[in-house]
Structure 1
Amino acid sequence: MSLPAAEDDAPAAAPPAPAGLGRFVRGSLGSGASVLARAGGALALNKLLAVYGGPGGLTLLAHFQNLMALLTTLPNDGVHVGIVKYLAPQRPGSADWRRWLAAGALLNAAVLVLSFALLPLLRGPLLAVFDPSPSWVAGLLAGISLLTGHAYLGAVLLAAQRLRAYVGLTVALSLAGPLAVAAALAAGRPLPQVLLAYLLGQGLMLLPTALLCAHYGLLRGPRRLPGRPALLALGRFLLMALSVLLCSKAVDFVVRDLLISRFSLAETGLWQAAAKLSDNYTMVFSAVMGAAYYPRLAALAGNPREQRAYVRAVFGLLAGVLAAGLGALWLLRDWLLPLLFDERFAGARGLLGPQLLGDWAKLLAWTLLYSLMAEARVGRYVLVQALSAAVYAGLLALLLPRLGLAGAPWAHAARFGLLLLGCALYFRPLRRSS
């Protein structure tokens, strides 16, 4: 069920593990500008909403971002991941390039239409907290459509190896959201409208992205509609993204709703501060791995020995780097929480330890699970997501009554500790030398 290797990735040309690791490190450093911009923009946004709305405002921001994720996960984690895989070996403007480009655009449109059609059925649990008007809902749908278009064309730039343009657009996107929020706050808008301004500010980045893609000749359409094989190939990535949507994004939304109902908006905001800090460096990790790790891993799908050596080298490097970085965050927690959020968030210090521990295990487990994604092993990937979500639900039911709010980060730590252990057992051939 594995995908074919890229045409120019003959086994003899694959680098040995040390060279592959060097490539990963150089790629990680090369994407530093976009990563820093994304992290800085997220921190600025958190600070603005924390100061303006306190713990409750930060909780609403997280709820809105989670809503955005629910509506964009299938395109971003499905179609866009697959399109990079299939466009990368093609020459821009060729018949194959145009066929894949059209297939991705068609699937994105279909997914958005389906998501928007289902939204009224879930209006209560998804939107009620924002007290939305019809114009607010219309703005939400427009913003999601624009943002998805921008993300798709960004994936096209990445597949065409237009990294400088991709980095520049990522930096601009990271600034657009906080600037739109600052303008809305300065105009005295209520919080739901401020959050909508954040989405629309990012969505308007579609225009410069489309102009750049047109400039590089990446948007030539096919002479006929894409065939069934292309749609089915990308559909496998949609199935994996669907498992992420149901077993991760939706679960996060439900857990936050549960905590708000069980505790209060302000108390949940303390847990949210620890989770938002986690979201920031997880975003950085995902950006680096998406640009520097996953494309090479996918290219080595036809050479299992070199792929194992590459994964082993990157995993060993990340285990130490992540432990050092997350340990430093824990030592600096009393200084960081007031700095990044507000003095009212100092109560989150006791929740940060288990959150960081769980994140160390989560990010290392993800490093291994990228192998399933690169090989399009849909059944196994979906099974992992489902089991992980089920374990998390059981842990929350067990720990929340006993530990109160602290049960949430401890359930997170136990969930990903068990996932890392399971991945270590499943991927044990990686420990063998090549």
Structure 2
Amino acid sequence: MKLIKTSLLSFIATMTKLVSGLVINKVVAVYAGPSGLALIGQFQSLIQILMSFSQGGVNQGVIKYTAEKKEDAEQLTLYTSASLRITLFSSVLVSVFCIIYASMLSEAVFGEDSYITLIRVFGTMVLLYAVNQWYLCTLNGRGLIGDFIKVQIIQNIFMLFFCTAMVINFETLGALYALAIGQSMVLVYLIVLRGADFFNSLKSLFITPSNTLYIKFFKFSLMTLTTAAVVPLVQIQIRNIIGDQLGDDSVGYWQGVWYISTMYLLVLTTVLSTYLLPKLSSIQEVEKLDTELIRVMKLVIPVSVLFALFIFVTKGILVNLLFDDSFQGMLPLFKWQLIGDVVKIASWVFSYLMLAKSMTKVYVYSEVFFGVLLLTLSHILLDSHGLEGITLAYLINSVFYFVFAYSNYIRWRKRN
């Protein structure tokens, strides 16, 4: 799949997610306010962790090995079987965990046990989500980007109407339940679109893979689950720090800025995950890999800079358009956040090399270290700079991470 074609298809899917997400966010802002947005942000972080664990952390491995083995049907079936077994086992564990420990999770995330039913409902749906994501990764690895994008577009449109209806009728609680069950329901469309191929892929479950394949996927699990645990946990702690010192409305301001960053960076991160990971996985020659990284950098850096400049110049309009007048406290936070975004996306180009070449130890250590560093910097700079210090901490952390990711790439290149 060519970079430009993948970028265009990814852009279409991302724009539908962007538009639907922005509409949903506006509805939530109007009906729930800053404190409601903060509550939803906490739940999003929790389900981000649980969804990643429900997939066994193998999705990046599924993309890599499917891309590598797609010309060898026998090997591909064995790798498919191993990844599907890991996904099913992990999703059942997460489901049982959510049902049994719903009270503990509710207390830890929301500070009260009023959301036990919400967490248990999510637990009953997580298997469908995990299988859906697993199959989408096989499509990505096989280069079937057209179908991959179609499913994403339908999912985004469905979530737009479903979440909007739930928020209008049930306000904050409606948004929470929409998040809990909405993303699992798109599996129905996936089966309609590619039913024969989907069920044929499930047949690999009856083929017994060797233990060495589980070990290969375990490396990806360790990397993916480290990120899945560290990033949301750090965000939860940052929200708690802000809430304790400045109040829930300030949490909502930070959540709003973080949300805008996440949405516009989707255009670029989708290109990286859809194109760059399978491409780097399949390239063995150092010179070709250098060429590919340069091509990607020439695309993502200018685009990220243009996006950041546009958002900074129009931030007042965007806040009024996407939120409402009660979110004016967001405005001072954009400067450091947007610069940090540009640095972060540049570092991700090099960090994907760690995934593509299975640099497990380096990846895990770096995720933990920079997660702790971000939390530490946030503590320090919140005291000295107020809420703006949180975005300054993000920028500083992003700069250090870029230096690390680029240095790691140089070391890998010298060894190969």
Q: How high is the TM-score relative to the length of structure 2?
A: 0.91
C-alpha change, 1:222 and 1:423, in structure 2 (3 Å) is: closer
Partner of 1:371: 353
Question: Alpha-carbon deviation of 1:170?
Answer: 0.3
Cα-to-partner distance string for 1:98-151 (whole Å, 9 max, x where unaligned)? 3222211221123234434555254421254572143x3321112332222211
1:287-326 superposed matches below 5 A? 287-300=270-283, 302-326=284-308
Query: Deviation of residue 193 (structure 1)?
Result: 3.6
Deviations 1:355-400 (A, max 9, x none): 1111111111111100111001001111211221122122122111
Higher relative contact order (CA 8 A, sep 6+): 1
Is residue 95–residue 222 contact of structure 1 (8 Å, CA) maintained in 2?
A: no
Measure, in 2, the Cα distance between the counterparts of 1:77 and 1:32.
28
**Structure 1 residues 1-400: aligned runs within 5 Å:** 23-74=2-53, 78-91=57-70, 94-119=73-98, 120=101, 121-128=104-111, 131-134=114-117, 136-186=118-168, 188-216=169-197, 217-300=200-283, 302-400=284-382
Task: Give the match for residue 402 of structure 2.
Answer: 420
Q: Which residue number corresponds to residue 4 of structure 1?
A: none
Secondary structure in 1 aligned to 2:236?
helix
- Taking a change above 3 Å as real, the CA distance of residues 224 and 215 of structure 1, as seen in their structure-2 partners, is closer
Amino acid at match of 1:244: T
Superposition RMSD in Å = 2.5
Unaligned runs of 5+ in 1: 1-19
Deviates more, 1:382-391 or 1:203-212: 203-212
Percent identical residues: 20
Contact 1:400 1:408 in 2 (8 A): yes
CA distance in 2, matches of 1:431, 1:238: 25
Question: Which residue identity is paired with 1:417?
Answer: V
The more displaced of 408-417 and 308-317 is: 308-317
1:130, 1:189 → 2: CA distance? 19
2:280–2:289 CA contact under 8 A, matched in 1? yes
Instruction: Rate the CA distance shift 1:417–1:38 in 2: closer, same or farther, 3 A.
Output: same
Matched-pair contact (CA < 8 Å) for 1:319–1:364: yes
Deviation at 1:93, TM superposition (A): 10
Alignment partner, residue 6 of structure 1: none
**Is the Cα contact below 8 Å between 1:338 and 1:344 reproduced in 2?**
no
Q: Which amino acid aligns with 2:339?
A: L
Q: How far did residue 90 of structure 1 move?
A: 3.8
Greater CA drift, 87-96 or 232-241: 87-96
Number of matched pairs: 409
Larger deviation, residues 70-79 vs 361-370: 70-79
What is the identity, as a one-letter code, of the residue corresponding to 1:262? Q
Query: Residue 150 of structure 1 contacts residue 210 of structure 1 at CA under 8 Å; is this kept in 2?
Result: no
Q: State the AA in 1 paired with 2:304.
A: L
Pick which of 106-115 and 403-412 moved more: 106-115
Tell me the distance in 1 between the aligned counterparts of 2:76 and 2:341.
Answer: 38
* Alpha-carbon spacing, 1:99–1:266, altered in 2? closer, same or farther (3 Å): same
* SS class of match (2:386): helix
Aligned residue in 2 for 1:14: none
Alpha carbons 1:312, 1:430 under 8 Å: kept: no
Q: Which is helix-richer, 1 or 2?
A: 2
Task: Report the counterpart of residue 13 of structure 1 in structure 2.
Answer: none
Q: Distance in 1 between matches of 2:144 and 2:201?
A: 10
Shift of 1:29: 1.3
Change (3 A) 1:430 1:342: farther
* 1:183 Cα deviation after fit: 2.0
Query: For 2:310 and 2:165, how far apart are their aligned partners in 1?
Result: 34
* Contact kept in structure 1, 2:54 and 2:127, CA below 8 Å: no
Bigger shift: 220-229 or 422-431? Answer: 422-431
2:41 and 2:187 mapped to 1: Cα distance? 23
Structure 1 residue corresponding to 2:386, chosen from 404, 410, 419: 404
Deviations 1:266-291 (A, max 9, x none): 12111111111011123332212111
How far apart, CA to CA, are the structure 2 residues paired with 1:225 and 1:431? 37
TM-fit CA distance, 1:430: 9.5
Kept after mapping to 1: 8 A contact 2:347/2:405: yes
What's the secondary structure of 1:102's corresponding residue? helix
Q: What is the SS of the residue equivalent to 1:78?
A: coil
